[in-house]
Amino acid sequence: MQLYGSLTSPYVRRLRALAIEKDIEFDFLNLNIFAEKDRETLVKLNPTRKIPMLVDGEQVIFDSNVIYRYLAQKLDFTPLSWNQENTLTLINSANDSLVELLICQRSEFDTNDDKLFFNLQRERVNGVLSVLNDAAEQGTFSDYNYVALSLFCLLDWIIFRNLTDLTRYSALQVFHSEHKNRASSIETAPRD
């Protein structure tokens, strides 16, 4: 199997970290999706033009969520419960909004502007981080499973890109400190 992605994407990192935690073997192909040559590879494999994607023989799978389900079925992991699916959706929604805001910043928009699009993303990020903070306080992430490592990748990427102030979310900060020295965190740390 080959996983295509980048060294910075939190969605790609989840799968790279999962591979280390669960001893899954795949080759990792690092793409710069904004460079012409790698973009050709991206578009050919994945018309959504987003990373990650997994290639397993003739089968290509798009989207980290679907790739996880594909691996879980192939490797016989217990499927996520509905509550775990909801928590993953929360993590994804904050992550997606932060990706959109980052792309807007790189397009030279002032994302602190009082505009509907920016306000909706910021409201979602803050609301979801607060719900995830409560969940962390209640022990939802005590088992370091796929959902927990997805949360770690989100938080570590927020810190790496300096995207939002995490000091308000003390349980999330504790969770991040507890896991930042794991082999799967160190070996997959984002770098430009």
Ligand X SMILES: N[C@@H](CCC(=O)N[C@@H](CS)C(=O)NCC(=O)O)C(=O)O
Residue ranges in contact with ligand X by CB under 6 A: 9-11, 33, 49-52, 63-65, 99
State the minimum distance, in angstroms, from the CB of residue 114 to ligand X.
24
Q: Compare residues 159 and 171 and give the one whose CB is closer to ligand X.
A: 159
Q: What angle do CA 45, 3, 107 make, to 5 degrees?
A: 65
Work out how close the CB of 49 gets to ligand X at its nearest, in angstroms, rounded to a whole number. 5
What is the DSSP secondary structure assignment for residue 163, as one 8-state letter?
-
Count CB atoms within 10 A of the CB of residue 58.
5
* Nearer to ligand X (CB atom), residue 31 or residue 135: 31
The distance of closest approach from Cβ of residue 137 to ligand X in the complex, given in angstroms and rounded to an integer, is 26
Q: Between 8 and 137, name the residue whose CB sits nearer to ligand X.
A: 8
Q: Which two tokens stand for residue 2?
A: 């080959």
Q: Of 4, 39, 30, which Cα lies nearest the Cα of 190?
A: 30
Helix (H, G, I), strand (E, B), or coil: what is residue 62?
strand
Helix spans in 107-179 (H)? 116-137, 146-161, 170-179
For residue 51 the two structure tokens come to 């990373």
Q: Work out how close the CB of 164 gets to ligand X at its nearest, in angstroms, rounded to a whole number.
A: 16
Q: Which is nearer to ligand X, 48 or 170 (CB)?
A: 48
